[in-house]
């Protein structure tokens, strides 16, 4: 399978999994606003897919959210199978993605750095 096609399948699965989460957890107390499907990496044979999920909130909640999502993997797979026409419906494996929090931390550190003030334009003209 070409890499371009595999990237399109990954993007399609990412979108479908995001939509399927709302259907599967419709009556649950799970706060879906805190969950983002950041990336899907499908195997070349389309049998397995690793789904990276970012969870906004406290560290102790992230594991619980990930377990709830992983417990509903079969239901998510069946919804994807119903909505998409693929040769195989991949088995979904969910992993926690901390890249968003790391990026926020880097931006926070950069904003706290003391940046030197730019010299006045007039001061440059006076110097020999």
Domain boundaries, the chain: 3-114
φ, ψ of residue 18 to 5 degrees: the values are -60, -40
* pLDDT at 59 (0 to 100): 76
Q: How far apart are CA 21 and CA 39, in angstroms?
A: 15
Q: Which of 8-12, 81-85, 89-93 has the lowest mean pLDDT?
A: 81-85
CATH superfamily of 3-114: K homology (KH) domain (3.30.300.20)
Quote the longest CA-to-CA distance of the chain.
Answer: 76
Q: Give the tens place of pLDDT for each residue, 45-86.
A: 889 999 999 888 777 788 888 888 899 899 999 988 888 888
Residue from 27, 35, 17 nearest 96 by CA: 35
The pTM of this model reads 0.72
């Amino acid at each position: 399978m070409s890499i371009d096609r595999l990237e399109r399948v990954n993007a399609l699965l990412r979108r479908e999994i995001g939509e399927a989460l709302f259907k599967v957890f419709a009556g649950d107390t799970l706060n879906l606003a805190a969950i983002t499907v950041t990336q899907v990496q499908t195997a070349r044979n389309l049998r397995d897919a690793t789904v990276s999920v970012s969870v906004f909130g406290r560290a102790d909640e992230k594991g619980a959210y990930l377990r709830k999502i992983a417990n509903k993997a079969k239901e998510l797979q069946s919804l994807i199978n119903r909505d998409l026409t693929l040769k195989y419906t991949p088995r979904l494996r969910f992993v926690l993605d901390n890249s968003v929090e790391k990026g926020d931390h880097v931006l926070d550190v950069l904003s706290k750095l003391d940046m030197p003030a730019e010299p006045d334009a007039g001061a440059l003209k006076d110097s020999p």
